[in-house]
């Protein structure tokens, strides 16, 4: 792991790091905020998965998480959204290929060689975090935005024992039911929709996966709400399955970091309550 940059912020250290990923066969960059803490202390970890077109940088610069993380003593980890580099295949669209890994392990050529974001987030990067930071890996929470909200929900639903807390900002709740999902999952894992169910929060809940609870914020003025995000599908899946969920429609908010930053402290506090219980 190499250090790209470190900056003192809110009494802690905001770092950006890079390492050679075996899963993606590329260098991968991520950011970590470590609050001020006592020597030898281990802090809970909140994962934040970003949305389409983003890198670690968007939330690191615009997410406004550091004040709340410093207050609650929570490490904040922001990975990239896909492999990068000239040798990595790409698509002309913003919603497939680089910047659009969808947190899946691709099985289709040419994507399968590098697009292994599920294994990267589930296995490889946690080992790097555990090895290099004062992280208590027994206390992990996960959140994310849009495509990253989809990532957070599906990763947690497949492995609820790993996470004490799960939330999302304006998540894609069902790739089976929206154009972004149709395009990405067809491309990465092929046309067999039975295989997609492991990557669909609503389908996972329908198939029996459960979390203790979850928090979702969704803006009513989000231009992707009707055509892509379809929050009501998650509300309906949770209601049918008896999955506890706090899903809040936020009047007037859009899909931007102005929305995310407005509710970030709420989410960090919600995670901290469960991570420190």
Enter the tokens of residue 251: 């009047």
Cα–Cα distance list, 108 to 1, 84, 134, 179, 184 (Å)? 29, 18, 37, 19, 11
Size of the site for a copy of itself (CB under 8 A): 23
Catalytic residue annotation:
146, 222, 255
Residue 63 beta carbon to a copy of itself: minimum distance, rounded to whole angstroms: 10
State yes or no: cis peptide before 110, omega within 30 of 0: yes
Residue (9 or 198) nearer to a copy of itself, CB? 9
In this structure, what DSSP letter does residue 63 have?
Answer: S
* Site track for a copy of itself across 237-256, x = CB under 8 A: ---------------xxx-x
- Could you give the string, one character per residue 56-85, with x where binding to a copy of itself holds by CB under 8 A and - elsewhere? -----xx-x-xx------------------
Q: Hey, which residues between 5 and 44 contact a copy of itself (CB under 8 A)?
A: 7-11, 14
Structure tokens at 17: 């790091």
Q: Which residue do the tokens 């295949």 mark?
A: 89
How many CB atoms lie under 10 A from the CB of residue 161? 6
Nearer CB in complex with a copy of itself: 2/36: 36
| 56/79 Cα distance (integer angstroms) | 5
Q: 34 or 201: whose CB is closer to a copy of itself?
A: 34
Q: Which tokens belong to 126?
A: 């946690």
Q: How near is the Cβ of 264 to a copy of itself at its closest, in Å?
A: 9
In the window 163-222, what residues touch a copy of itself (CB under 8 A)?
Answer: 219, 221
Does residue 94 interact with a copy of itself by CB under 8 A? no
Cβ neighbours for 197, distance < 8 A, ≥ 6 positions apart: 176, 203, 204, 207
| Footprint of a copy of itself (CB under 8 A) | 7-11, 14, 61-62, 64, 66-67, 219, 221, 252-254, 256-259, 261-262, 265
């Amino acid at each position: 792991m190499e250090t790209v940059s470190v900056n003192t912020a809110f009494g802690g250290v905001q770092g950006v790091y890079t390492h050679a990923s075996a899963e993606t066969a590329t260098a991968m960059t991520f950011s970590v905020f470590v609050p001020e803490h006592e020597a030898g202390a281990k802090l809970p970890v909140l994962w934040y998965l970003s949305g389409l077109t983003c890198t670690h940088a968007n939330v690191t610069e615009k997410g406004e998480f550091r004040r709340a993380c410093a207050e609650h003593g929570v490490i904040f980890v922001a990975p990239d959204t896909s492999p990068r580099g000239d040798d990595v295949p790409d698509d002309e669209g913003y919603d497939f290929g680089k910047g659009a890994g969808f947190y899946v392990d691709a099985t289709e050529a040419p994507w399968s060689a590098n697009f292994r974001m599920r294994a990267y987030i589930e296995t490889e990067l946690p080992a790097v975090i555990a090895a290099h930071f004062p992280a208590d890996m027994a206390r992990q929470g996960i959140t994310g935005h849009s495509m990253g909200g989809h990532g957070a929900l599906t990763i947690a639903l497949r492995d609820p024992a790993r996470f004490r807390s799960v939330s999302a900002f304006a998540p894609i709740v069902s790739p089976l039911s929206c154009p972004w999902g149709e395009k990405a999952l067809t491309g990465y894992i092929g046309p067999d929709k039975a295989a997609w169910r492991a990557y669909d929060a609503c389908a996972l809940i329908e198939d029996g996966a459960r979390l203790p609870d979850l928090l979702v914020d969704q803006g009513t003025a989000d231009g992707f709400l009707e055509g892509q995000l379809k929050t009501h599908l998650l509300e309906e899946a949770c209601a049918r399955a008896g999955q506890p969920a706090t899903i809040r429609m936020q009047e007037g908010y859009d899909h931007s970091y102005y929305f995310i930053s407005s509710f970030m402290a709420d989410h960090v506090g919600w995670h901290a309550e469960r991570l420190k219980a």
